[in-house]
Amino acid sequence: MAEIEIFTDGACSGNPGPGGWGCLLRYNGIEKELSGAEKETTNNRMELTAVIEALKALKKECQITLCTDSRYVMDGVTKWLPNWIENGWKTTNKKSPVKNVDLWQELEKLLSCHQIKWVWVKGHNGHEENERVDKLARNAIASLK
C-alpha cells in the first residue's frame, strides 16, 4: 500500500467571506500542490474542503499521514463522526443538525478508502509544510479578486 503524506489548510478573509484551501501531497519525494477558493464560505468549510480535495486526488487505497492545523477537522473525524452518524447527523443533543453536514458526509465516504494517521500541528508556528499550504489557501483567496 502506498504511503502518502498530506498537509492541508483552509483560510477565510472574514468568517464568513471569501475563502481558500490548499493541500500538499507527498509520495516518494514527489509533491503535488492543490488549491481552490470560494467567494462566500467559512474557515471550517475550507479546512474540510482541503482534506476532501486531497483525498479525492488519490487514485487507490493509501496509508496516509495527514497533518492539519484544524482541531475542528481532526476532532470531527477522530472523536465526533461516529456519534453524528449514529444520531442521524445530529449533534450530541440529538436535536441540532451537524454544521457542514454535506462536507462531513463527503469526507466520511472518502475516509473508508484509506488508513489515516491524523497529526495536529500548530498553525502559523513555523511548520514548513503548514506554512506552505496556508500560503496556497491565501493565494487562492487572492485569485478571487
Catalytic residue from among 47, 53, 114, 129: 47
What digits encode the pLDDT tens for the residues 15-49? 999 999 999 999 999 999 999 999 999 999 999 99
Catalytic residue from among 38, 53, 129, 134: 134
The pLDDT, as a whole number, for residue 93 is 83
Among this protein's residues, is 114 annotated catalytic?
no
What digits encode the pLDDT tens for the residues 101-110? 999 999 999 9
CA–CA distances in Å: residue 85 to residues 35, 44, 108, 115, 118: 29, 19, 9, 19, 20
Q: Decide if pLDDT at 3 tops 90.
A: yes
The pLDDT, as a whole number, for residue 92 is 84
Higher pLDDT, 121 or 92: 121
Catalytic residue from among 69, 76, 114, 129: 69
Higher pLDDT, 92 or 142: 142
Among this protein's residues, is 75 annotated catalytic?
no
Among this protein's residues, is 134 annotated catalytic?
yes
What digits encode the pLDDT tens for the residues 121-142? 998 889 999 999 999 999 999 9
Catalytic residue from among 3, 31, 102, 124: 124
Among this protein's residues, is 102 annotated catalytic?
no
13-36: b (≥16 Cβ within 10 Å) or e: beeeebbbbbbbbeeeeeeeebbb
DSSP E strands, 30-136: 30-41, 62-68, 115-120
Predicted TM-score (pTM) of the model is 0.96
CA 117 and chain centroid, separation: 14
Residue among 13, 25, 14 at smallest CA distance from 114: 25
Handedness of CA 99, 12, 21, 24 (dihedral sign): negative
The pLDDT, as a whole number, for residue 87 is 93
